[in-house]
């Protein structure tokens, strides 16, 4: 028996929808954000519509059941049912969307806001566009000394940072559970691998309070490390972050 095309279309869309849910939520264990899924499904539905309607004949086949439902006198019962159910469904969805809930409103933070061109760090005005890690050049000049610098950085990290960012730099330190937003996972390709060292220096030294306005709300619990660590210590920690994760800092020149 041939499946009606309308049913085919519905099955495909529903299949993709549940496919996303199953793959992400259950198989991969990383939920797919609802806002994104909505947009995904909008375009999946558009794609399905396109494939099912580019041919005149097949389109007629697709809409035939709908047409029949609306026009065929024999389907009066079904028509009445559908025409009652649809407004009710719409009404229900409007109701459930407007109903006040206990969920806190969605908060949006730009995780990597554009840095200012200069920032005041250690009482000095620093040009973030040209700032470089003073130890980075050691990497080529003297690999042994560089290794020592990295291990210095590791010591600083273990004493100060790992409580939140984790001893594997994966953002899962002992205190991470208590924080929202959770500490950044440096292993992730989307974090430090995308950034220049000067950016990290800015974020570490000025912490949550140093975030610009577009990164509001300022709920980051990152301390202002320039009050606790020396400039050299911070540069060494940055070396360690890249060294341990194996990422390279972003740079604009080869």
Partner 1 sequence: MIIIDKIAGIYSLKSNRNKLVPWVVIVLLALVLLANDAHQNTIEAAQQVAEAIEDQAAAARTHVPAPKLTAADYPTVAGVNGRLVVWVVAQLHLWFAAFVLAVPIFVFIIEAIGMRTRDKRYDDMAYEFIKVSITAYSLTAILGGLLLFSLILFYPHLFTYLSTIFSETMLYYALLFFAESAVLYLYYYGWNWLQGGFRKWVHLTLGLMLNAVGTTLMLLANAWLTFMMSPAGVDPAGVFSGDSWAAIHNFLWNPINIHRFVANIAYGGSIVGAYAAFKFLTARNQQEKAHYDWMGYNANFIAICALLPLPFAGYYLAAEIYAYSQQMGITLMGGIFAWLFIIQAVLIGTLFLSANYYLWCGMGRSDGAKRYTKYIKYIAIVLVGSFLVWFTPHTLVLTNSELKSLGGPHHSILGPLGIMPAKNTAVNIMIIFTFLSFLFYRRSNKIATVSWEKTGNICQVALFSSGIANILFLGIYHGYFTNTVYKVAASIPQVVTTLVVIVGSLVLDSFIYRKSRDVGPLHWGRIPERAQYALFLLAVAFTWLMGLMGYIRSGIRQHWHVVDIMRDASAQAFTPTLGYAANVVSVAALLFLAMVIFVFWIAQVSSSKTLPAGYWKE
Partner 2 sequence: MRKFVTVIAFMVVAIGLFAGYSNFGIPQIEPAPPPIEEKIDLGSMTMDQYVALGERLFNGKGTCKLCHNSLGRAPALDAISTNAQERLDDPRYEGEATNTEEYLIESLVSPSAFVVAGFGKKGTNDTESPMPDASSGSISFSQAELTAVIAYLQDNAGLEITVEIPSDLEPVIEDDEDEDAEPREAFTEIRDIVENFDCEACHTITEEAGDAGPKLSTIGAKRDRDYLRRALLNPNADIAEGFEEDLMPDDLGQQIYASELEILLDYLTALK
Interface with partner 2 (CB under 8 A) = 35, 39, 108, 110, 118, 122-127, 212-214
Query: CB under 8 Å to 90, separation ≥6 — which residues?
Result: none
Report the run of H or E that residue 5 belongs to, with start and end: helix 5-20
Minimum distance, C-beta of residue 240 to partner 1, in the bound complex (Å):
18
Residue 206 or residue 233: which is nearer to partner 1 going by CB? Answer: 206
Around Cβ 63, how many Cβ atoms within 10 Å?
Answer: 14
Contact status: 230 vs partner 1 (CB under 8 A):
no
Contact status: 51 vs partner 1 (CB under 8 A):
yes
Structure tokens at 157: 């990290």
User: Is the separation of the CB atoms in 150 and 158 below 8 Å?
Assistant: no
- Helix orientation angle between 231-245 and 143-160, rounded to the nearest 10 degrees: 100
Around Cβ 6, how many Cβ atoms within 10 Å?
Answer: 15
Residue 151 or residue 182: which is nearer to partner 1 going by CB? Answer: 182
The footprint of partner 1 on residues 68-127 (CB under 8 A) is 103-104, 106-115, 117
Structure tokens at 205: 């030294």
Residue 62 or residue 229: which is nearer to partner 1 going by CB? Answer: 62
* Contact footprint for partner 1 (CB under 8 A): 24, 28, 30-36, 39-40, 43-44, 46-47, 50-51, 53-56, 59, 103-104, 106-115, 117, 129, 171-172, 176, 180-185, 188-191, 193-194, 212, 214, 248-254
């Amino acid at each position: 028996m041939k499946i009606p095309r309308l049913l085919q279309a519905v099955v495909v869309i529903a299949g993709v929808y549940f496919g996303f849910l199953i793959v992400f939520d259950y198989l991969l264990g990383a939920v797919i954000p609802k806002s994104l899924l909505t947009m995904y499904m909008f375009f999946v539905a558009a794609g399905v519509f396109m494939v099912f309607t580019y041919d005149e004949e097949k389109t007629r086949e697709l809409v035939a059941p709908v047409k029949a439902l609306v026009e065929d006198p024999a389907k009066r019962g079904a028509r009445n049912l559908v025409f009652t159910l649809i407004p009710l469904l719409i009404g229900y969805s409007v109701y459930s969307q407007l109903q006040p809930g206990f969920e806190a409103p969605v908060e949006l933070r730009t995780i990597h806001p554009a840095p200012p061109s200069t920032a005041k760090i250690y009482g000095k005005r620093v040009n973030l566009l040209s700032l470089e890690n003073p130890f980075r050049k050691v990497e080529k000049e003297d690999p042994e000394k560089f290794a020592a610098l990295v291990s210095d950085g590791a010591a600083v990290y273990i004493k100060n940072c790992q409580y939140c960012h984790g001893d594997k730099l994966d953002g899962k330190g002992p205190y991470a559970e208590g924080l929202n937003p959770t500490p950044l996972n440096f292993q992730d390709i989307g974090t430090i691998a995308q950034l220049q060292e000067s950016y990290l220096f800015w974020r570490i030294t000025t912490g949550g309070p140093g975030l610009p306005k577009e990164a509001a709300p300022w709920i980051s619990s990152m301390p202002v490390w320039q009050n606790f660590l020396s400039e050299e210590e911070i540069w060494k920690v940055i070396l360690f972050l890249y060294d341990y994760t194996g990422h390279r800092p972003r740079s604009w020149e080869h």
